[in-house]
A = this chain, B = another copy of it.
Amino acid sequence: MRQVAALAGVGVKTVSRVINNEPNVSAATIAKVIAAARTLDYQPDLHAGNLRRADGRTRTLGLLVSSVDNPFAGAVHRAVEDVALERGVSVFASSLDDDPDREQAAVSAFLRRRVDGLILTTVSESQAYLAPELRRGTPVVFVDREPAGITSDAVVSDNYDGAALATRHLLEREHRRVAYLGDKANIRTARERRQGFLDELGRFGVATRDVPVIEGLHDAETARLATIALFDSPTPPTAIFSSQNLVTIGVIHALRELDRHRDTALVGFDDVPLADMLEPGITVVAQNPQQIGRVAAERVFARLDGDASPAARTIIPTRLIERGSGEIPPRQEG
């Protein structure tokens, strides 16, 4: 900026005024400054400005997701980015791999960079460590998972009802040996889905002790192995509810391998790419990651714009998409 000022033959403050479109600069001066800035390829230093600027905004957001190459996270990320772009805000993204240490490290990295707000998919037991930052006024919105140990905005899918809906779909088709394949039980979302599943079984009077509930599945491979193990039984399930997209993919692989994909019903929680092109198509309870991301980002900006209403939980509805796999009837008992 000093160089631009020197080249244009004006003071630095005048350059600052031109860059920021402040009033009370003569047209001639504006032209001189712009020309000088152009020849020097001047790019203002946003962070230096922030140091002094009144609002102290870095126009930066931090986003924490399971992994940036998970399709669900990608869709959330994209929606957040689109909302942020309208405001000239850039987005930091970080993958967690469900590692609480990484969560803390990533949040700390964001905070040191003075992000204006955080959108987090958390994996740690408690997010109490964020309390001081919240008190400082940084908006924090949780997506997909709800916070523990602190109170803040959250945008989540309707996990309980979605899981119940998927389960009901299977039970109404007379399935009784329905297996549950789920993520780690320390994830609240996973617990809610499990509860939706179990409660729905209860409503249909199915004894839950006969129902395989397999948890701690974290990626497609462990889910595949768990599914194969399930069928190594005299009474394998006639239907499967898989509680997460990677788990669903693992189940699909296993059913193919066992050639059980045409006589075992499957409903997955969260949509899976190309699910409609499989044979049978995969019936899912689809979340709406675009909406989750968009609502979360709008929430952050609303807070930044001064919304001081109490922390709210926004529930994004899920939707059952019938594609074939969920409509397979139970095998005849032999």
Decide if A110 is an interface residue (CB 8 Å cutoff). yes
| Interface residues in A, total, Cβ within 8 A | 49
Complex interface: stretch among A5-13, A85-93, A142-150, A303-311: A85-93
A39 CB, nearest partner CB in chain B, Å = 10
With a cutoff of 8 Å between Cβ atoms, the chain B residues found around residue A108 in the complex are 43
Complex interface: stretch among A74-82, A207-215, A229-237: A74-82
Nearest-CB residue, chain B, relative to A275: B274
Interface positions, chain A 248-288, Cβ under 8 Å from B, are 249, 252-253, 256, 272-275, 277-279
A252 CB, nearest partner CB in chain B, Å = 6
A110 CA to B60 CA, complexed, in Å: 11
Nearest-CB residue, chain B, relative to A272: B274
Q: In the complex, are the beta carbons of A252 and B279 less than 8 A apart?
A: no
With a cutoff of 8 Å between Cβ atoms, the chain B residues found around residue A46 in the complex are 112-114
Q: In the complex, are the beta carbons of B60 and A68 less than 8 A apart?
A: no
Nearest-CB residue, chain B, relative to A40: B132
Decide if A71 is an interface residue (CB 8 Å cutoff). yes
Q: In the complex, are the beta carbons of A113 and B47 less than 8 A apart?
A: yes
Decide if A25 is an interface residue (CB 8 Å cutoff). no
Q: Mark A61-83, 1 if CB is under 8 A from B, else 0.
A: 00000011111011101100100
With a cutoff of 8 Å between Cβ atoms, the chain B residues found around residue A77 in the complex are 68-69, 93
How many copies altogether? 2
Cross-interface CB contact of A75 among B69, B113, B249, B256, cutoff 8 Å: B69
Decide if A14 is an interface residue (CB 8 Å cutoff). no
A90 CA to B105 CA, complexed, in Å: 11
Nearest-CB residue, chain B, relative to A44: B112
With a cutoff of 8 Å between Cβ atoms, the chain B residues found around residue A274 in the complex are 249, 252, 272-275, 277-278
Decide if A127 is an interface residue (CB 8 Å cutoff). no
Q: In the complex, are the beta carbons of B90 and A109 less than 8 A apart?
A: yes
Q: In the complex, are the beta carbons of A69 and B60 less than 8 A apart?
A: no
Decide if A333 is an interface residue (CB 8 Å cutoff). no
Decide if A291 is an interface residue (CB 8 Å cutoff). no
Nearest-CB residue, chain B, relative to A48: B51
A174 CA to B152 CA, complexed, in Å: 63
A236 CB, nearest partner CB in chain B, Å = 20
Interface positions, chain A 1-43, Cβ under 8 Å from B, are 41, 43
Known: A74-B70, A132-B41. A110 touches B90 (CB 8 A): yes
A132 CA to B42 CA, complexed, in Å: 10
With a cutoff of 8 Å between Cβ atoms, the chain B residues found around residue A93 in the complex are 68, 77, 81, 91, 93
A77 CA to B43 CA, complexed, in Å: 26
Cross-interface CB contact of A78 among B69, B132, B275, cutoff 8 Å: B69
Q: List 6 A-B contacts (CB under 8 A).
A: A46-B112, A69-B71, A71-B74, A78-B95, A256-B277, A274-B275
